[in-house]
Amino acid sequence: MTDAPATLHQFLEGVRAGRLTAIRCSKCGTAAIPPKQFCPECGQRAWEPLTLSGKGTVASFTVIRVAPRGRAAEAPYAIAAVQLEEGVSLLGRVVDVPLDAIAVGLPVQFRPVQSLDQTVIGFAPAKDVLR
Ligand SMILES: [Zn+2]
């Protein structure tokens, strides 16, 4: 049995540094993010680290027009569930895309985003990253 190499704290530290890391079950290959104690697929606890490319596509999204307290100036903005290449999905803020141009299937790339005094998970259009 291997200890999970990635804690939630380490995961968020990575986000701040512009890195996405997940864990992958060494028994069945299921990837998980953020870190979990046991594999949701096979119930084992045999995680190994998995560095994510950060590339994925928008699986679903919602536009926040009334933001939580303190973030009113940032609204409206979109939060998307992004299906990453490695098979895990992650919620993040969509940046650098006009709200009416966001669509399911849009290719995006992870980018850390500054929101108030926090770094949050963001996704920018993939084509911008390649340029
Ligand atoms: Zn498993």
Q: What is the pLDDT of residue 116?
A: 82
pLDDT tens digits, residue range 22-71? 889 999 999 888 778 899 999 999 989 888 999 999 999 999 999 888 88
> Both 79 and 122 in a single domain?
yes
> Both 82 and 123 in a single domain?
yes
Residue 108 C-alpha to ligand 1 middle, in angstroms? 27
What is the overall mean pLDDT for the chain?
87
User: What pTM, to 2 d.p., does this model score?
Assistant: 0.83
**Is residue 129 predicted with pLDDT exceeding 90?**
no
For residue 2, being part of any structural domain is answered with no
Kind plus residue range of the DSSP H or E element containing 126: helix 126-130
For residue 1, being part of any structural domain is answered with no
Residue 24 C-alpha to ligand 1 middle, in angstroms? 8
> Both 60 and 109 in a single domain?
yes
What distance lies between CA 12 and its chain's CA centroid? Answer: 10
Residue 58 C-alpha to ligand 1 middle, in angstroms? 25
Residue 86 C-alpha to ligand 1 middle, in angstroms? 15
Expressed in angstroms, the distance from the first to the final Cα of the chain is 43
Which of 36, 51, 66 marks a domain boundary? Answer: 51
pLDDT tens digits, residue range 1-13? 334 445 777 888 8
Domain that holds residue 73: 55-130
pLDDT tens digits, residue range 64-112? 999 888 888 889 999 999 999 998 999 999 999 999 999 999 999 999 9
Residue 32 C-alpha to ligand 1 middle, in angstroms? 10
For residue 3, being part of any structural domain is answered with no
Query: Can you tell me the distance from the alpha carbon of 88 to that of 52, in angstroms, rounded to the nearest whole number?
Result: 9
Q: What is the pLDDT of residue 1?
A: 37
Query: Can you tell me the distance from the alpha carbon of 131 to that of 126, in angstroms, rounded to the nearest whole number?
Result: 9
